[in-house]
């Protein structure tokens, strides 16, 4: 697990069935509560207080790839994928969209809504582009970080594992497109800069952000990541709303210095406040689907 976290094991039996999950918790808690096995009541109490836990499922990428630094699951049509048996029919004739959700805090496990793709992906899912059918997947992350800049690289590793999984299933790399919103969008850009060896179709990010409205402690991390983005080629579109309280188009201007990345603004003008940051879920964002479709058509093979 992460350096400042260790795994707490909750293990009990209900009606002769063993239930077990791994729960990342701060070291400080374990120092004050050093036992390894906890009762069901205490496990559930800690889960509620800390905001969640790793799911008790072999379909977690962490378990499937034996990588304890991550915790994420893949969903299709709102259902979790069985990583050991899932197949994509005629994978060479498919275009995969991998969506990465945002987070409220890098300190807390987030609830994931696997059906929440937003309007653009909803309008593309199941359609054909270049005679290839689009299939959308939601990468639900349950990871946390122990400091402000740690979660983004973790989320990027989860994306890398998911991409490796799709390639293993037979999907052509250039037909894999990474989408993301807020932290998920920022992590998508980080993945792109970190993994130059993957010649993927491209990236579409909605309101990519980190740490949210730029607290002082995050300035160094943000600037470090932006320098990292500028060092790479990232073929994609970055959508930024002028009323976004987390990252404005001015703060997203770094995109103009990233080779291959296009900055787009001037849409959903009626939105303000938190709705501006979550514009991808608003009806007005449907107007972006044509541009995104054309981008996929130009980049896919």
3-class secondary structure for 75-106?
A: EECCEECCCCCCCCCCHHHEEEEEEECCCCCC
The domain boundary residue, chosen from 53, 75, 97:
53
Same domain, 286 and 143: yes
Rounded mean pLDDT, 112-134: 96
Tens digit of each residue's pLDDT (9 = 90 or more) over 184-207: 999 999 999 999 889 999 999 999
Same domain, 46 and 63: no
The domain boundary residue, chosen from 35, 53, 71:
53
| CA torsion through residues 130, 294, 99, 227, sign | positive
Same domain, 157 and 12: no
Cα–Cα distance measured from residue 246 to residue 234, given in angstroms and rounded to the nearest whole number: 22
Same domain, 81 and 121: yes
Same domain, 61 and 40: no
What CA–CA distances, in Å, run from 195 to 6, 123, 157, 186, 191? 28, 29, 10, 14, 6
Same domain, 5 and 127: no
Alpha carbons within 13 angstroms on the beta-carbon side of residue 238 total 32
pLDDT of residue 196: 87
148: pLDDT strictly greater than 70: no
Q: Strands 202-206, 132-141: parallel, antiparallel or unpaired by DSSP? A: unpaired
Same domain, 202 and 235: yes
Count of domains in the chain?
Answer: 2
96: pLDDT strictly greater than 70: yes
Residues in the chain: 301
Tens digit of each residue's pLDDT (9 = 90 or more) over 20-48: 344 443 333 333 334 334 444 454 454 44
Same domain, 15 and 155: no
Cα–Cα distance measured from residue 83 to residue 1, given in angstroms and rounded to the nearest whole number: 22
Provide Rg for the chain, Cα atoms: 19
User: What's the predicted TM-score (pTM) here?
Assistant: 0.81
Same domain, 198 and 253: yes
Same domain, 71 and 40: no
Q: What CATH number is given to the structural domain containing 132? A: 3.40.50.1820
Strand partners of residue 206: 181, 239
Tens digit of each residue's pLDDT (9 = 90 or more) over 6-22: 333 333 323 323 333 44
Rounding to the nearest 10 degrees, give the CA dihedral for residues 79, 80, 83, 88.
Answer: 20
The domain boundary residue, chosen from 12, 30, 53:
53
Confidence of residue 219 (pLDDT cuts 50, 70, 90): confident
Same domain, 174 and 210: yes
Domain range for 3: 1-53
Tens digit of each residue's pLDDT (9 = 90 or more) over 54-76: 445 778 999 999 999 999 999 99
Task: With beta carbons less than 8 A apart as the criterion, state whether 94 and 27 touch.
Answer: no
Task: With beta carbons less than 8 A apart as the criterion, state whether 289 and 127 touch.
Answer: no
Task: With beta carbons less than 8 A apart as the criterion, state whether 268 and 241 touch.
Answer: yes
Same domain, 2 and 111: no
Cα–Cα distance measured from residue 73 to residue 125, given in angstroms and rounded to the nearest whole number: 19
E strand or H helix at 22: strand 17-26
Strand partners of residue 37: 9
């Amino acid at each position: 697990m992460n350096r400042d976290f260790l795994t707490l094991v909750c293990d009990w039996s209900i009606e002769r069935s063993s239930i077990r999950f791994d729960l990342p918790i701060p070291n400080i808690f374990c120092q004050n509560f050093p036992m390894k096995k906890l009762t069901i009541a205490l496990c559930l109490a800690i889960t509620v207080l800390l905001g969640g836990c790793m799911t008790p499922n072999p379909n977690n990428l962490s378990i499937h790839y034996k990588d304890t630094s991550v915790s994420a699951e893949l969903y299709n049509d709102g259902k979790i994928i069985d990583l050991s048996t899932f197949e994509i029919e005629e994978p060479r004739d498919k275009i995969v969209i991998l969506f990465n959700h945002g987070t409220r805090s890098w300190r807390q496990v987030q609830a994931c809504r696997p059906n929440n793709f937003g309007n653009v992906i909803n309008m593309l899912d199941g359609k054909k582009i270049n005679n290839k059918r689009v299939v959308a997947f939601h990468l639900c992350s349950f990871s946390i970080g122990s400091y402000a800049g740690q979660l983004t690289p973790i989320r990027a590793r989860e994306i890398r594992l998911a991409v490796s999984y799709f390639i293993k299933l037979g999907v052509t790399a250039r037909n894999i497109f990474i989408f993301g919103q807020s932290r998920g969008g920022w992590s998508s850009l980080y993945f792109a800069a970190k993994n130059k060896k993957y010649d993927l179709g491209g990236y579409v990010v909605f309101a990519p952000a980190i740490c949210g409205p730029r607290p002082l402690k995050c300035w160094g991390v943000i600037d470090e990541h932006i320098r990292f983005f500028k060092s790479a080629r990232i073929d994609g579109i970055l959508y930024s709303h002028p009323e976004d309280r987390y990252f404005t188009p001015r703060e997203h201007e770094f995109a103009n210095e990233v080779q291959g990345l296009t900055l787009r603004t001037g849409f959903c003008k009626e939105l303000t406040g938190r709705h501006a940051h979550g514009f991808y879920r608003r009806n007005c964002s449907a107007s972006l689907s044509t541009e995104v479709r054309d981008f996929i058509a130009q980049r896919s093979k």
